[in-house]
Amino acid sequence: MNGTTLATTYSANKTALIAVVGATAAGKTSTAIRLARRFQGEVISADSRYLYRGLDIGTATPSESEMAGVPHHLINILDPEDDYTLAHYQRDAMAAIADVTRRDRLPILAGGTPLYLNALLEGWRIPEVPPDPVFRAGMEARAAAEGPDVLHQQLAQVDPAAADRIPAGNVRRVIRALEIHRQTGRRMSEIEGKEPPPWRTLLIGLTLPREELYRRIDERVGQQIEDGLVDEVRELLRRGVPAEAPAMSAIGYPQIMAYLDGRTTLEEAVARIKFDTHRYVRHQSTWLKRMADVHWFDPRDANYFDQIIQCVAEFLAT
Long-range contacts of 91-95 (CB under 8 A, 24+ apart): 91/128, 93/44, 93/46, 93/120, 94/120
Looking at residue 129, its pLDDT comes to 84
Q: At 226, is the pLDDT very low, low, confident or very high (cuts 50, 70, 90)?
A: very high
199 alpha-carbon distance from chain centroid:
20
Give me the pLDDT at residue 6, please.
42
Domains within the chain, CATH numbers bracketed? 3-125+196-317 (3.40.50.300), 133-191 (1.10.20.140)
278 half-sphere exposure, CB direction, 13 A CA radius: 14
8 A C-beta contact, residue 79 and residue 242: no
Of 76, 74, 71, nearest to 32 by C-alpha is 71
Span 271-309, pLDDT tens digits: 999 999 999 999 999 999 999 999 999 999 999 999 999
Model confidence pLDDT, tens digit, residues 78-99: 999 998 888 899 999 999 999 9
Q: Over pLDDT 90: what percentage of the chain?
A: 85
Q: What is the pLDDT of residue 15?
A: 86
Mean pLDDT, to the nearest integer, of 152-167?
Answer: 93
Q: Where are the beta strands (DSSP E) in the chain?
A: 16-22, 41-45, 72-73, 106-110, 124-125, 193-194, 200-206, 294-297
| Residue environment code for 27-56, b if the CB has 16+ CB neighbours within 10 A, otherwise e | bbbbbbbbbbebbbbbbbbbbbbbbbebbb
Radius of gyration of the chain (CA): 21
Average pLDDT on 37-62 reads 95
The amino acid occupying position 108 is I
| pTM greater than 0.95 (yes/no) | no
Residue 20 backbone dihedrals phi, psi, to 5 degrees: -100, 115
> What does the pLDDT look like over 167-208, one tens digit per residue?
898 898 899 999 999 999 999 988 888 888 999 999 999 999
pLDDT at 9: 41
Determine contact, residues 202/291, Cβ cutoff 8 Å: no
Within 13 Å, how many C-alpha atoms sit on residue 19's CB side? 29
pLDDT at 12: 43
Is the distance from CB of 237 to CB of 257 less than 8 angstroms?
yes
3-state SS, residue 217: helix
Per-residue pLDDT reduced to its tens digit, 17-49 = 999 999 999 999 999 999 999 999 999 999 999
